[in-house]
Amino acid sequence: MKLLDKEFLEELEKKIYLSRVRISAVLIGFIFLSIFLFFGADFITRIFEMQIPFEVQFLQLYPHEVLYNNLKIGLFSSFFLCLPFLTYQMAKIFVDYNDINKKFKAITYSFWVFVLGLLSVLVSYFVFIPAQLYILYAINFDVSLYTMSLSAYTTFCIATIFSLFLFFLVFLVNYLGKNDLFFSFETLLKYKRTMLYISALIAILIVSPPEMFAFVFLFGFIYCLYIIVLISAKHHADKKLKEEQTKESK
């Protein structure tokens, strides 16, 4: 038994070490990709400008606005591109790769993260961003020309895409929690405080420079999604416990 425990621990340690190396490689790729996209941010900004359903003139309100704008676009574009590889490497830490079924599920999970990321970009670009702009500016239809801060518009687009991506991701996490693959109720509850800090950090990064309304809204939205996932995981855990108690009573 001790020998088996030792072999298991050595195997787990080796798996964690290799995963750390691979995750580090993905993070290095993320940095280089962010730098590349930082210099191509103007092109991405023009693409988002095409979805504005009225004539608008962008203003640069402070000297470092363009720098912040390009940095946010570079970081979050790179994040979406690297996320499937990062989630796959993180999944390898928790999944027993001798089990072909779990290995396939980990690969499928990473693939769906990429699909949901792509879907959130397309749906936001073609539906939610134009629709929100129509609604938010509907009061002033008589205005012939609108002015908008470049950083504020970039924040608006990134926050819309990221919020929709997290909303889609809730369904995937709910499925994984239901099947006890990664996200059990106990695991999610353990990282409740960590999720609070992560939610605040993501909101700060997206809305920097500070835009208080956008920060409060985005922070609240992200943390509410976490609460929804937590409630769903609790439901699955209670359901599983009831099923086990029913089997034992029989």
| pLDDT for the residue 70 | 83
pLDDT surpassing 70 at residue 47: yes
CB 79 within 8 A of CB 57: no
CB 95 within 8 A of CB 106: yes
Mean pLDDT of 183-208: 72
d(CA 209, CA 160): 17
Q: Take residue 221 and report the two structure tokens written for it.
A: 């939205």
d(CA 90, CA 172): 16
User: φ and ψ at 97, to 5 degrees?
Assistant: -80, 0
pLDDT surpassing 90 at residue 182: no
CB 141 within 8 A of CB 182: no
How many residues are listed for the chain in this entry? 250
Under the banding of pLDDT at 50, 70 and 90, the label for residue 180 is: low
Residues whose CB is less than 8 angstroms from the CB of residue 7 and which lie 6 or more positions away in sequence, other chains included: none
Residue spans of the domains in the chain: they are 2-249
